[in-house]
Amino acid sequence: MKITVNEDENLQETEIIINCKVLDAAILKFLQVLREKQNVIMGIKEEKSYVIKDTDILYFESVDKKTFIYTHNEVYESTLKLYEVEKKFLNSHFFRASKSTVINISKIDVIKPILGGRLEVLLSNKERLIVSRQYVPILKEKLDY
């Protein structure tokens, strides 16, 4: 397999193009590895770094300018800002739910409207979070409401 890396300061985004005769098993495996890399995030806990898959994440929360990653059993700190998390997972199951949280839709069990045009979501770990009124349209769009 021939690999070419084109380094250009003017490029806005990193792009990988695969030119092949047939999309065989080896290339599919390679693509799978690449996709998995895209859907992970580094989390720090007790000075150790962990690779966390997006499918394990319930939500992200920003507290005192620090971003935390919540899974079923653990809480990790992320080096990314909340808006960077939002951008990274823009095309996945995550959505901005308030100024301080980004929630994984796939981990929501129940959605309940509450006073003030807000929503309360019950996550799979039985934790309840609020979707602010201004972010309800984003969830609606994701759900094709």
Partner 1 sequence: MKKLMIITNDIKAIISMFSVSILMTYGFVSFFTGNESIPLSLFWESLLLGILTGGLQFIMYNKKFLKNLSNNVRVILHYIIIFILLVMFIRVFNWVEIWKIKEWIFIAIYTVYFIQVCVAFAIYTKATGERFNERLISYKEKNDIRE
- The verdict on 124 binding partner 1 (CB under 8 A) reads yes
Name the CA dihedral angle for 13, 14, 20, 25, rounded to a multiple of 10 degrees. Answer: -120
Q: Indicate whether 145 belongs to the interface with partner 1 (CB under 8 A).
A: yes
- What is the distance between the alpha carbons of residues 95 and 100, in angstroms, rounded to a whole number? 12
Whether the Cβ atoms of residue 25 and residue 16 lie closer than 8 Å to each other:
no
Site string for partner 1, 20-39 (x = CB under 8 A): --------------------
Counting residues that bind partner 1 (by CB under 8 A) gives 18
Q: What span, in angstroms and rounded, lies between the C-alpha atoms of 139 and 14?
A: 28
Q: CB 15 → partner 1: shortest distance, Å?
A: 25
CA angle 78, 102, 130 (to 5 degrees): 130
- Segment interacting with partner 1 (CB under 8 A) among 2-10, 31-39, 71-79, 136-144: 136-144
Footprint of partner 1 on 76-105 (CB under 8 A): 93, 99, 105
Q: Which is nearer to partner 1, 88 or 93 (CB)?
A: 93
